[in-house]
Structure 1
Amino acid sequence: MNKSSCTRVSFDFTRTFLPPVYILVFIVGLLANGWGLKSLVQKWKKLGNINVFVLNLGLADVLYLLTLPLLMVYYFMGNKWIFGDVLCKITRFCFNLNLYGSIGFLTCISVYRYLAIVHPMRVMGRISVLHSVGISVLVWLLVSIQSLPDMFFSKTFGNKPGKCYDTTGKFYVEDYLKYSLGWTLTGFCIPFLIALGCYGHVIVVLCRTNTTDKVLKQRCLKLLFILILLYSVCYIPYHVLKNLNLWSRVLSKQRQCRKWFDAVYIAHQISRGLVCLNSALNPLVYLHGEENIPAQLGQLLLRARETFSRLSNSNSVRVAQTADEEIISLH
C-alpha cells in the first residue's frame, strides 16, 4: 500500500507505559544488585572465576540504573529532554553497555560452566581469577567498541527541550538500521549461539553421565533456567522488534505505509520495558553460585516482617495511649 503520506504513529503509549516500569526496575534493581554485590564483596577472598563475571554483571546493572531517574523525568514531561545532547548520549550509552555487557558476561559464565562439566580435567588448575579479570576487561572493551558508533548518531533536537532518541532521528534512520543489524549480529546473535551451543552440549553430558557432582548439576540447571528467562523475556523480543521498528521508520520515510506500523511501535516500546528488566533479573545469577543466598533472603524477609510488626504494635500502643488520655481529659 503506497500513499503520499503515512498515518502518524501515536506516542501516547510510551509516556504511560515506560515510567512505571522504570520506577519498578530502579527500586528493585538497586536493592537486588546492592545486596548481591555486598555479598560478593564480603567474600572477596573466596572470589571464584565465575563470580568475577557476576561482579561485572552487577556493576553493569548499577551503571544503567543510575541513569533511570533522567529517563523518568523525560517521559513524565511528555518526551521532553531537558538535560542536553551530551547527557542524552551518555544515558543511551550506559543502556547499551548494560545490555551487551550483560549478554557478554552471561556468555562467559555459560562457557565456564561448559568447561567445568564437559572438560573438567583439561581446565582444572589452568583457569585462574586473573584469567577471568582479563576476559572481563576484554568484554568491556568489545562492548564499548560496538556501542561507540551509536554516540555519533544525532539523539536530540539541538539544545532545545525535545526528543532523546534511543536510536536516532528521521534523517539518519537508514544508516542506523544497517548499523543496528550488524550490532545485533555481533552483540546478540553470536553470543546467544555460543551460550546455546554450550548448554546444548552440557544437557547431553548431564543426561548421559551420573558422575557429575550433584551441586554442580543444580547450579547448571539454575543458570540454564535464568538464561532462558532472560533471553526469552528481555533480549530476543527487544532485538527483533527494535529492527522491525527501524525498518518501519525507513518505509515510512519512503512513503511506503503499512497497517502494522503502529502495532510494531507499541510492541517495540513493550520490549524496551522488558529489556530494562534484565537489570532487576540479573541478580538471579547470584542464586546459581551461592547456596546460602536463598536462606539469607529468607532471613532478610523475616527481619523486615518483624520490623513491620514492631512498628505496627508501637503505633497501636500510641493510638491506645492517646485515646486513654483523651478520655481522662474529658472526665
Structure 2
Amino acid sequence: MSEDSTAFLVIYIITFLISFPNTVLAFCSCIRKIHRKPIPIDIFMLNLTVSDLIYLTFLPVKTKEAADNMVWNMPYILCHFNMFMFFLPFCSSSLFLGAISAERYVCVRFPIKYKSQRRNIYTILICVAIWVLVTVLIVFAYKATYTNSEIHNTTNQRPLVTEPQRCYSNFTSTQLRELLKIRLAALVLLSCTFIICCFCYINVICILWKLPLINRWRRLRAIGLALGTLLVLTVCYAPISASYIVGFIRQKNPDWFMKALIPTTLNPCFNLVIFYCISKEMRKAIGVCANALFQLYACLKRFMLLCT
C-alpha cells in the first residue's frame, strides 16, 4: 500500500469515528431547535450538518478505495456518485461557513433589523441558492470528466485491457483543461468565503469587545467560532486551493495533488468546533458524553485494580 493510500485510510477512519456520531447529534439538535423556534443560525447549521452527513455517509466507500490502494474494486456505478457525494460537501461546507459568519455579523451589527419576521425566508433562500450553485458546479465538473473524453480513460468507463480500475484519475487533455477551469471557479468561491469570514468575525469580535454588558464567556465563544472557522478554511482548504492555482498555471495536476486532498477529509472534524461554539444543546450533550466516558474509564480502572 502506498503512503498516500495509508494516510487516506487512517484519516478516513479517524474522521468517521469522531465526526459521524457528533454530527448526528448536531443534526438532531438543529431539528429540535428549528421545530421549537426556527432562527437563521439554526437553519444554516442544519444545512452544514446535512453537508457533513452526506460526506460521512459516503466515507466508508472512500475508505474501501483507500484500503485497496486506490484501486476501484466496487461496482463502477458508485464511481459516478463519487464526485457528487465527496466534492459536493467539500464546496457546500465552505459556503455555509461563510453564510454563518455573515449571519453572526448581521446579528451583532444590526440587532434590530435582525429581528425582522422575514429573516427566516431570506435564510432559506440563501441555503437553496448555495445548494443550487454547488450542484451546478459539480454537474459541470462531472460533464468535463465523464462525458468529454477524447480517448479511452479510466474515469469514464472500463478499459478493454485488464488493468487496475481507478476512479477520477487519468484525465485526457481536454478533460483536464475543462476541469481546471471549474476548479478555478471553485477557488474563487473559496477565496470570497475566506475574505467574508475574516471581515465578519473581526468586526464581530471588535463589537463584542466594546460592549460592557457582554459576558466574558460569550466573547470567548465568538473568538472560538472565528478561530474555528478560519482553522477549517486554512487547514482543510488552503492546500487544495494551492494545488488548483498551480494546476491552472501549469495546465496539469501537480505531483502533490493527492497529498493536498488529505487535509480536506478532516473538514467534518473541525466543523465540530463550530457546532460547539454555536449550539448550547451541543455543548450540554458533549459534556454529558464526556462525563459518561470519564465514568466508564474510572470503572474500568477500578476493575483492573481489583483484578490485579
- Tell me the TM-score range normalised by the shorter chain: 0.7 to 0.9
AA aligned to 1:269 is: M
1:273 matched residue in structure 2: 262
Aligned equivalent of 1:31: 21
Kept in 2, the 8 Å contact 1:88–1:164? The answer is yes
**TM-score, structure 2 length as denominator?**
0.83
Structure 2 residues without counterparts, runs of 5 or longer? 147-153
- Paired residues, number: 293
Give CA deviations for 1:13-37 in whole Å, capped at 9, x if unaligned.
Answer: 3222211111111111102202222
How far does residue 145 in structure 1 lie from its aligned partner after superposition? 1.1
1:156 and 2:155 aligned: yes
Amino acid at match of 1:273: I
Equivalents in 2 of 1:249, 1:162: separation in Å?
Answer: 25
Larger Rg: 1
The Cα offsets for residues 85-143 of structure 1, whole Å up to 9 and x where unpaired, read as: 43213122122221111111111111111111112223323443343223212211111
Aligned CA distance change for structure 1 residues 182 and 135 (closer, same or farther; 3 Å): closer
Q: Secondary structure at the match of 1:265?
A: coil
Query: In the alignment, does 2:287 pair up with 1:298?
Result: yes
2:240 is the alignment partner of 1:235? no
CA distance in 2, matches of 1:243, 1:298: 42
Matches of 1:48 and 1:290 in 2, distance apart? 12
The superposition leaves residues 238-275 of structure 1 with CA deviations (integer Å, 9 ceiling, x where unpaired) of 21124424655638xxxxxxxxxxxx533x33331211
Instruction: State the distance in 2 between where 1:86 and 1:109 align.
Output: 35
> SS at 1:142's partner residue?
helix
Equivalent runs, 1:1-331 vs 2, <5 Å: 12-43=2-33, 44-152=35-143, 153-154=145-146, 156=155, 158-159=157-158, 161-165=164-168, 169-171=171-173, 172-185=175-188, 187-207=189-209, 209-210=210-211, 213-214=214-215, 217-245=219-247, 248=250, 250=252, 265-266=255-256, 268-291=257-280, 293-310=282-299
8 Å CA contact retained: 1:22, 1:273: no
Distance 1:45 1:292, change over 3 A: closer
Q: Indicate the residue corresponding to 1:255 in structure 2.
A: none
1:325 corresponds to: none
Shift of 1:309: 4.2
Q: CA deviation at 1:277?
A: 0.6
Q: Which amino acid aligns with 1:220?
A: A
Q: Which moved more, 1:102-111 or 1:42-51?
A: 42-51
Structure 1: runs of 5+ lacking an equivalent: 1-10, 252-263, 321-331
AA matched with 1:25: T
Query: CA 1:157–1:142 in structure 2 vs 1: closer, same or farther (change >3 Å)?
Result: closer
Residue deviations 1:129-187, cap 9 Å, x none?
34322321221111111111111113626235511126x614322222122112221x3
C-alpha RMSD of the superposition: 2.8
Measured at CA, do residues 46 and 284 of structure 1 come closer, stay the same or move farther in structure 2, by a change above 3 Å? Answer: farther
Q: Is the 8 A contact 1:177 1:247 kept in 2?
A: no
Q: Percent of aligned pairs with the same residue? A: 21
Checking the alignment, whether the CA contact within 8 Å between 1:118 and 1:202 is kept in structure 2 is yes
SS at match of 2:74: coil
Deviation for aligned residue 1:297: 2.1
Does the Cα contact within 8 Å between 2:155 and 2:166 map onto a contact in 1?
yes
- The CA distance in 1 between the partners of 2:77 and 2:246, in whole Å, is 27
Larger relative contact order (CA 8 Å, sep ≥ 6): 1
